[in-house]
Amino acid sequence: MARKNRKSVKPPRLAGIWMVLLAIFLAELLFYTWCRVQCVRTGYEIAEGADRHRELTARQNELRIELAHLKNPKRIAEIARRRLGLTMPNAGQTIVMP
């Protein structure tokens, strides 16, 4: 009977060890899955940021071109003549400051 007691004691202990190992394995598996999900999510955020950067860079270039067009001296002179009625000053209308 002593032998039966020993056999009955070992399997629950062995089963407990297997349960602990299985729990550790499952915890590692869940942690690995969480890490991969975070990695993929971060990749998507980086891709969105890169797309946004490209859009903003293109918009900035468009605005630079528009600004250069608006600052064109010929355009400003044309607006001054047509809309504001300005003309070039005569020689007697200019004063040179010392």
pLDDT tens digits along 8-65? 545 678 888 999 999 999 999 999 999 999 999 999 999 999 999 999 999 999 999 9
For residue 49, being part of any structural domain is answered with: yes
Number of domains in the chain: 1
CB 80 within 8 A of CB 86: yes
d(CA 57, CA 68): 17
For residue 71, being part of any structural domain is answered with: yes
For residue 43, being part of any structural domain is answered with: yes
Q: For residue 6, what pLDDT is reported? A: 52
For residue 92, being part of any structural domain is answered with: no
CB 77 within 8 A of CB 83: no
Residue-number span of the structural domain to which 23 is assigned = 2-83
For residue 12, being part of any structural domain is answered with: yes
pLDDT reading at 5 higher than 70: no
